[in-house]
Amino acid sequence: MAGDVDSRKSTSGYLITFAGGAVSWQSKLQKCVTLSTAEAEYVAVTEASKEMLWMKNFLRELGHDQDDYVVNCDNQSTIHLL
């Protein structure tokens, strides 16, 4: 079910943490109308991943390069798409 009943758009959200603290977060309506929950979650994971890659490069420039970056998703259908 879409978050906005008028536009039929879902809401995406993410939280990026570093060293135990929040460094980036967002919650907003998606730019497109999706036809399933899995598709809406896929759009959300894609947006979060783009922000995480930007943050990874930013932290690397500051000298805080690390090996593991984790994206969590709680929708099994979306996980199978990834």
Under 8 Å CB-to-CB from 74, ≥6 apart: which residues?
none
pLDDT in tens, 2-56: 666 778 888 989 999 888 899 899 999 999 998 888 899 899 999 999 999 999 9
**Residue 7 gets which letter from DSSP?**
T
Q: Categorise residue 29: left if φ over 0, alpha if ψ from -120 to 50, beta otherwise.
A: beta
Domain boundary assignment for the chain: 11-81
According to the model, what pLDDT value does residue 3 have? 67
Under 8 Å CB-to-CB from 39, ≥6 apart: which residues?
none
According to the model, what pLDDT value does residue 59 have? 87
* Alpha carbons 22 and 69: distance in angstroms, whole number: 15
Is the pTM higher than 0.85? The answer reads: no
